[in-house]
Amino acid sequence: MTDVKAMIASLPADAQVLVDAWVAELRAELRGVPDEARDEIASEVVAHVADALGTDAGADEVASVLAEFGTSSEYATAVREALDEGSEFRMPVTGRILGMPYEWRMPTTARVRSRWWDTSNSKVLVPKIFGVGWTINFGGLAVKLGLLHADDGDEPFESVPDSFMWTALAVPTVLVMAFVGIWFVKHGVASAQVPTHWGPSGAADGWSSKNSVLAITFAALVIPYLWAVWGYVSRDSKFSRVIICAFAASIEILGLTIYSLSIFEVVTSNPVVLGSGLVLPILVIPFAMLVGFARIGMRQDMNRA
């Protein structure tokens, strides 16, 4: 905890006060919980906040991260509900384990926005939106590469022309169409059992039925796509629409790539090619979408000026 405390101590005074007050309230709400468990819970919250923020974060940024836990009372209630008959502590749905952040709550638009596009945060690696480990703060990365300024935030997206907004939805749409095309051409002639997992050497070491692979892939593509479509139907902000389309595209790319490898029965591959084929598109395409739309909006603002 030394590094975490040092990071919290490096925050501006108003941010430190906010974190300390929230944690103190949480400890008070957890009266009756064993001291060791209470200390662990409080430490995980502080570590999560420190991991999600840069050293120049202000009170607003701290409040935004703490809001992911709800109020201290709400989080304490959730922790108590996670206790097994008051004797055994179970991990909260968000926190850290073995030094790595984890997040088991279902993704929300607000969380995708806060993790993927925080231009004011100098950190490029931030806790995942869902799962264990870290993801990329594309906004922070764009600032480090000189493509945007730290104070740009999400404002440029609102200046993107309405007529251009549909191109964001076109990306996940094309991926869904590609999935349908591969299914139509290849699924019927594929073997009943297809490879679904590849080891460090690039050789397939796990197999499943092609229909189960189809069902999982269908869910991985259609659910994010419907979420993106709903953003347009419900007239979410332009920024929300773009970032959810980018998020949907990243999940669809993962599902489509694995389905393609399975249904084309790739039993061995160069592990570097296999890994880069999965990771690079998942990172590059959302980054290109977000930065591209932000710069289009910035250009529109400059033209108006």
Residues 277 and 163 in one domain: yes
- The Cα 46–Cα 38 span in angstroms is 13
Q: Is residue 195 part of a domain?
A: yes
Structural domain total, the chain: 2
Q: Is residue 144 part of a domain?
A: no
Residues 66 and 185 in one domain: no
Place of tokens 């304490």: 76
- The Cα 55–Cα 294 span in angstroms is 25
Residues 99 and 202 in one domain: no
131 has which bridge partners? 103
Write out the two tokens for 75: 């989080």
Report mean pLDDT in 10-residue bins for the chain, 305 residues.
Answer: 56 77 84 76 75 66 76 80 56 70 84 89 86 90 91 88 92 96 93 90 89 94 94 90 95 93 89 80 93 92 78
Residues 229 and 266 in one domain: yes
Cα atoms found within 13 Å of the Cα of residue 86, Cβ hemisphere only = 2
Residues 192 and 103 in one domain: no
Q: Is residue 61 part of a domain?
A: yes
Q: Is residue 8 part of a domain?
A: yes
Q: Residue 17: give the domain boundaries.
A: 2-120+128-136
Q: What is the 3-state secondary structure (H, E, C) of the chain?
A: CHHHHHHHHCCCHHHHHHHHHHHHHHHHHCCCCCHHHHHHHHHHHHHHHHHHCCCCCCHHHHHHHHHHHCCHHHHHHHHHHCCECCCECCCCCEEEECCEEEECCCCCHHHHHHHHCCCCCCCCEEECCCEECEEECHHHHHHHCCCCCCCCCCHHHHHCCHHHCHHHHHHHHHHHHHHHHHHHHHHHHCCCEEEEEECCCCEEEEEEEHHHHHHHHHHHHHHHHHHHHHHHHCCCCHHHHHHHHHHHHHHHHHHHHHHHHHHCCCCECCHHHHHHHHHHHHHHHHHHHHHHHHHHHHHHHHHHC
| 154-181: b (≥16 Cβ within 10 Å) or e | bebbebbeeeebeebbebbbebbebbee
Q: Is residue 150 part of a domain?
A: no
Nearest-5° Cα angle at 103, 12 to 52: 20
Residues 170 and 254 in one domain: yes
Q: Is residue 22 part of a domain?
A: yes
Q: Is residue 151 part of a domain?
A: no
Residues 40 and 161 in one domain: no
Domain boundary among 136, 167, 197: 136
Residues 96 and 198 in one domain: no
Residues 281 and 172 in one domain: yes
Q: Is residue 142 part of a domain?
A: no
Residues 48 and 97 in one domain: yes
Residue 68: CB partners within 8 Å, gap ≥ 6?
A: 94, 111, 114
Residues 172 and 294 in one domain: yes
- The Cα 116–Cα 144 span in angstroms is 14
Q: What is the 3-state secondary structure (H, E, C) of 31-78?
A: CCCCHHHHHHHHHHHHHHHHHHCCCCCCHHHHHHHHHHHCCHHHHHHH
Residues 10 and 62 in one domain: yes
